Structures are given as C-alpha cells and as structure tokens.
Structure 1
C-alpha cells in the first residue's frame, strides 16, 4: 500500500487525554517541533471528559499546526472509546497513537512514517524511555518538565531505569519482533502506529474495556490474528514524563480488563497472560508460549482415546464431563462432553461430526462457569505441561468440576512428580 496522500495528511496523531493539560501542552509543543512539514500530519486530541483547561490548550496549539478536538462526557476511564472517536475524525492513511505526557523528538513522525513506507501490513511499536509503573529515575521528572526530549534522552540514556520496560523482551529477539510468536503483547498505545484501513476493518478498540489497561493488547491480538506484522522502531521514541499514579487502582482495573480479555479470546496465549498476571508480568508471555508450542509439536502423536475408554465405566452417563487434553480422538462411547485441547487442529478432529463441544484451551483458565461439570478428566496429553502449570491446571479443574480425576495412564506417567 502506498501511504502517500496528495490531498491530505500522511499521519493522524491521536492523543487521548483527561485533566492533564500541562502534560498535554508539552506533548503538543513537541509535535509542533516536528521536522515533517506541518501539512503532512494532523493531531486529534480525544478528551475523555476533562474539567481543566484542556480545550484552551488545544486551541493554542491549533495556531501552529492542524489540530482537531473531540470531547466526550466524563463517564469513567474510557480511553479506547476516546481513541476510536479520534480515529473517526482522522484523514490520514496511518494512525499514530500517543499518550498525553509522551514527549517526542523532532523526527518522531518521520520515523513512524518510514516504518510504514517500508511496505506490508504493519503495526509499529515505538520505544518508550522511562516508562515503568514500579518507579522512576531520580531527576527525570524535573528534566522532562524543563528540557527538550532529545536532551533528556542524551542525559539519561545510559541509565538502566530509563530503558523501556519491554527492553528485556526486545533484546531477547534482537529487536526483531518478527521472530516472536506473540509480538502483540508488546504493542502499547503509549506510542504506536497502525494503518487506518487495518484499524477500521477490525472495528478499532473494543469499547467494552473501561478503566486502565489491556484494550491495546486486545486490539493487537486481533491485528496479529488478522495477519498484520509487528515492527519495533527505536527511532520513533518517546520519553514518558513521570506523573502521579494510583497503582492500586491501576492493578484493580487491569485485572477487571484481564477478565474481559479472556472472555473475548479464551485461547491458549491469552490463558497464559491470565496466568502470568496472577504472579508476574504479561511481558513474560513469549517464553511460556514458545514452551507450549514446543510441547504441542511433541504431543501431536499422543492419542488418549484408549486411556479415556478405560475411564468410561467410572463416568455417570447422565453427568456433565469435561476432558482436558482431549487430543484428536475420543472413544465413540463417550457421552456428550466438553473437550479442551491446546492443539486447535486436533480438537477440530475430535469434535467433527459429534455432539461434543470443543474449546481451544490449555485448561489454565477456561470459559466454563464455576461447577459446570460433574467430572473433569485430565489426560496424559498434559504430561509435558505438568511441571510448569500442574497446580494451575488442577485449580481450574476444581473450579469447573465437582470431581477431578487424572486418568490412570496420566497418573502413572507423572508418578510422584509434583505439579508446577
């Protein structure tokens, strides 16, 4: 796709904001310093119900560059809805999403544009200096308020705490997101861009997400599954200006949105995100997902029909049964059951032409309700996952089932091995 625009801007920069007029003034001032010609971009400020002087700040910025303003009533944190409203006003073929308080250098927009001009359907992940919910670099707040962003980068660039929070993941893939099985988890609306036609075709951000976090990952997951590639730009960087945050509220809101994410996409990679966010960070997804994919390849030949057949006499024919790790074949005598497996192709084979219901899932967190089953059977297809996720698999099985059993074959294979 050519992203040239003969009669309008090449980039639309969409900035959601709420009662942060001073930070917004800085962000807009940085955009006014772009080396890109002013006619080549537009800025759309999407106001989520501010009661401060945000509108006046936007009006002042509009004297030096093309700026549009959209206001929606304050009905809680609805950043996704605000961004969608901004995108509907956008005239350019590329949308750049930028947070209020994300401070940019003079080549920022040229660098985003260059990534899209390289060709292909691409979502660009921009680097974010100084973004860390756990804390901030001493002196960074004062420097960000007083110095130009490029001066801040020159001063703090060698400090570990100034690196992007995703730096370890970037290093692991040698800064090539194309090597990753789950690059979408690194796509944050703090600083990113995407083709407008890709964004619009998928319906933009899901407006069911209220409060802080994960609406960007949800969009990125859909973009990835739709065939959009992900690319990192270290040149299209921002400096995240430190500001006060309610970390407890952020955590509570992100966990609510995590439940929404899983309800909408109850597939293995999102299950892993669920598991990680109970204990660590979703940024660790890649290693866990690669572990699952490796085991799935090794487990393709594990057929559990025989071991399930040996369990049939112990099942209540009228009861509700869930099989976790069903594989591609189950006994024909198995009463209608809910089948779960981490291999979507095998699961389709197991359910084809039957009354069984299939869910493409590991079993870490399923879409089933509490107490949905009378019996949950765990099979030997889970043996390779036991040392990593055994406790989580058992906990979920006990949540959805009144009775939980390992098949005899599975129990023999793991022996006394403790669940991980």
Structure 2
C-alpha cells in the first residue's frame, strides 16, 4: 500500500493499536499539510489491531503517500512496531507521532527545517499542545470538534492549561535544549524526529520495553550519548487530542520500565530518574518537590567533596571481620582496595575513582550511588556503606538503606551509627 515514485525527504511513522478513530484524525491532519506529498510519506505501523484500522489507512491512499505494516498482536510492542515502520520508511528523516496526535499544517516543513540547520546531527522535539497526561486540558475535546488544530493553537496557544507539559522547562532554557541538563528526557514519541542514519546507528527503539513508557527517553539517551544535539521545533507543532488513558497501569508500567532503563544504563543519573518515578512507593514515600535536574548538581558537588576521602581503613576493617565465603557489596568503595579484600560488588558514584580500580572478575565495579543497583534481591550477605556516602546521606539515606537491605542480609558502616552528618542537598 504505497504511492509516489520520488523518494520522500521525511517519513512520518505512526504506531497504532485499535485506535482507528484517533488514527483517522491524525491522517486527516497530515493530509492537510502545506508541504507537497512529494516531500513526505506516512507509515502506519499496526501492532495487531482487530478494528477497522487497515480500512482507515486505505481511505487515505488518494490523499497521502502511505505504507502500512501489520504485526501479530503479541502484547504491547510499540517499539517493535516503530522499528518495523522505520524499516519500511524511505525518508532520510524519521518523524514519530502517536495515533490521536494532530500535526499542524507546517509540521513536516518545521521538522525538515530543524534538520537543515547548520551543525551536528540533531534529535528534534516537536512542541505538542495539549499533551498533559496527568492534567488534561479542560474542554479541549469539545473545542476540537468545531475548530481545526491551527485555529485552536491560534486562539488558545498562550493558555498554560493547553501548552505542552514541558513548556516551563523549554522556557527556562529559552527553548535552547543545550542549556538543559537532560535534553534526552524531553524526547517523547508523541512528536519527534531524528535522521534515519542516526536512528539505526544506535539500534532504533529497544524492543525489550513491552509496556507503556520510557522507550522513547531511552532512545533519546542513546542518541545523546551518540553525540546528537537536541532542539525544540515550535514550527513542527502538533496537538494531542483527548482520549482515554489507563493512568494507574501506565504509571506502574513506567516505573517498571524505568527499572529496565536503569539496568541497561546503570549510572547515577538513571538511579535518580528511577527514584523520581518511585517516590510514591510506601517504602520510599517522598513528598518533596524535586526532579533529577535539581539533584544532579548536588551529586556532582558530592563527587568533588568526597574525591579525596580514603576509605581503605573501613574496607580493611570489614575484610578482617568477615568469615571466609561471605558475599559482599560496598557502596562508596573509592579508588583503592586493601590487600586481600574478599570478592565483592563495588559501587561508587565517582566514575574517575571507579576507573582506577583494576579490572578483576572477583571485584566487579559499578558506577552507582546505591539508590538502586542492578543486583537481585538478597544477592549478598553484607553491604558496607562507607563514609564516602556522607555528602549524600541526609538526602538519600532512606533510599540507600532500602536498597542495601534489599540486596543484603545485613548492612554495616560508620554512617549507620554516627549522628546525622552534614550533607549537600539540591533544595
């Protein structure tokens, strides 16, 4: 199901599953683009729909250059569907939108313009009005029944309740994402684009994500580490049309997927991100208003404060008091081990010190604070929390202790007996 001989410049990929009504609205908006259909194509990637999705696609073959991929319904496989759509795509730029997203009339030209700007390859974040899953825009569904997306944006674009939920972050950085600490965290597949070559260079979407959430930011993370810059396109805007959301299961899925994300990229920034998504869990309840970008400066200051703190005496004391065969993990191991230290998983949030430790299968090292590690439950007999965690102890004590007790049968360390130490915080 395709048309047009000329190679399109950009391919718009839409994953979908039993949302033919929403898909129809998205295809209608794409058919109303100012850009010529010679410039772009649309690829619908169907994750096993049983409704009239295929017929909906066929209804637009005279208005759009369309390709259609169907995969068997084996559960939630949006990442696999997007990858399949990307394999069908012929454009040098891949744009992704969800069913129910209503691209503005300059969506295609806006995304293309962003990729044509001088400089390194970039990932483009399209501004998305009305995308507020936790706080839907009141009355938007009724307004969209009688107004085009362009009219709605013209009349309500300055209304905070209608603006992109990321708007305050964009505005703080003056819409220049190089000023933000975590630009990849703003890369959402409701409206985004990336060069096809760079998409495949990092492997596309990770298909291990089999429920809602995190697969887009995880791709953004890999694109960022690959060297791409990130840019907001206000010209490539879209509107998210209201539709039912499974909020509670979705949030639970997101927490689970953040743990998958962390296991794939174990390092402090992902520990913090996991903690943010898990802050309402009973054992980690945290009502403080914070986000990862607010915590990172404190972690970086802690690295500098603890850089010269030598904990070899603490490690030696543990070595001398453990019976043979004891399984050990150390939070805050530093850059040197005393002679004869037993086999242990070693964690430190200072990557420079971690890299000073010799490569040794008996002492695997991990770049981590200890907020959440990659070890399974009850993995070790003893967890030692050294004084290198002092600068972070007041802020993250509850999380670190919960994690130590999750992976270890017993927990030791000077911070457990000492009075609450001074620490650096983000607030």
The CA distance in 2 between the partners of 1:351 and 1:55, in whole Å, is 57
User: Is 1:401–2:408 an aligned residue pair?
Assistant: yes
Aligned to 2:33: 34
Aligned to 1:16: 15
Aligned to 2:255: 255
User: Which residue of 343, 346, 349 corresponds with 1:339?
Assistant: 346
The two structures have a TM-score, normalised by structure 1, of: 0.92
2:97·2:191 contact (CA, 8 Å) conserved in 1?
yes
SS at match of 2:248: helix
The CA distance in 2 between the partners of 1:283 and 1:217, in whole Å, is 19
Aligned to 2:199: 199
Map Cα deviations across residues 309-358 of structure 1 (whole Å, 9 max, x no partner): 24433233421111101121121232222110112231121234673111
Residues 353 and 396 (structure 1), Cα distance of their counterparts in 2 relative to 1, 3 Å cut: closer
The CA distance in 2 between the partners of 1:254 and 1:354, in whole Å, is 33
- Any stretches of 5+ residues in structure 2 without a counterpart? 281-285
Q: Measure how far apart 1:203 and its partner are.
A: 1.7
SS at match of 1:36: coil
The CA distance in 1 between the partners of 2:39 and 2:318, in whole Å, is 67
The CA distance in 2 between the partners of 1:266 and 1:368, in whole Å, is 11
Map Cα deviations across residues 81-122 of structure 1 (whole Å, 9 max, x no partner): 110010000111110001111112111111111111113121
The CA distance in 1 between the partners of 2:244 and 2:139, in whole Å, is 15
Q: Measure how far apart 1:7 and its partner are.
A: 5.1
Bigger drift between 84-93 and 24-33 goes to 24-33
Aligned to 2:74: 75
SS at match of 2:245: coil
SS at match of 1:92: coil
The CA distance in 2 between the partners of 1:317 and 1:351, in whole Å, is 22
Aligned to 1:225: 225
The CA distance in 1 between the partners of 2:105 and 2:174, in whole Å, is 26
Aligned to 1:149: 149
1:351·1:358 contact (CA, 8 Å) conserved in 2?
no
User: Is 1:269–2:269 an aligned residue pair?
Assistant: yes
Q: Measure how far apart 1:400 and its partner are.
A: 0.8
Residues 339 and 404 (structure 1), Cα distance of their counterparts in 2 relative to 1, 3 Å cut: same
2:394·2:422 contact (CA, 8 Å) conserved in 1?
no
The two structures have a TM-score, normalised by structure 2, of: 0.91
The CA distance in 1 between the partners of 2:17 and 2:146, in whole Å, is 22
Counterparts in 2 of 1:366-405, with a 5 A limit? Answer: 366-405=373-412
Aligned to 1:3: none
User: Is 1:65–2:72 an aligned residue pair?
Assistant: no
Aligned to 2:314: 307
The CA distance in 1 between the partners of 2:339 and 2:172, in whole Å, is 46
1:48·1:82 contact (CA, 8 Å) conserved in 2?
yes
Bigger drift between 229-238 and 93-102 goes to 229-238
Bigger drift between 149-158 and 184-193 goes to 149-158
SS at match of 1:69: strand
Residues 62 and 181 (structure 1), Cα distance of their counterparts in 2 relative to 1, 3 Å cut: same
Aligned to 1:163: 163
The CA distance in 1 between the partners of 2:10 and 2:278, in whole Å, is 38
SS at match of 2:38: helix
Aligned to 1:104: 103
The CA distance in 2 between the partners of 1:245 and 1:111, in whole Å, is 29
Q: RMSD across aligned C-alpha pairs, in angstroms?
A: 2.4
Residues 35 and 205 (structure 1), Cα distance of their counterparts in 2 relative to 1, 3 Å cut: same
The CA distance in 2 between the partners of 1:36 and 1:301, in whole Å, is 59
The CA distance in 2 between the partners of 1:112 and 1:39, in whole Å, is 16
The CA distance in 2 between the partners of 1:112 and 1:302, in whole Å, is 49
Map Cα deviations across residues 170-199 of structure 1 (whole Å, 9 max, x no partner): 233232211223211111000000110111
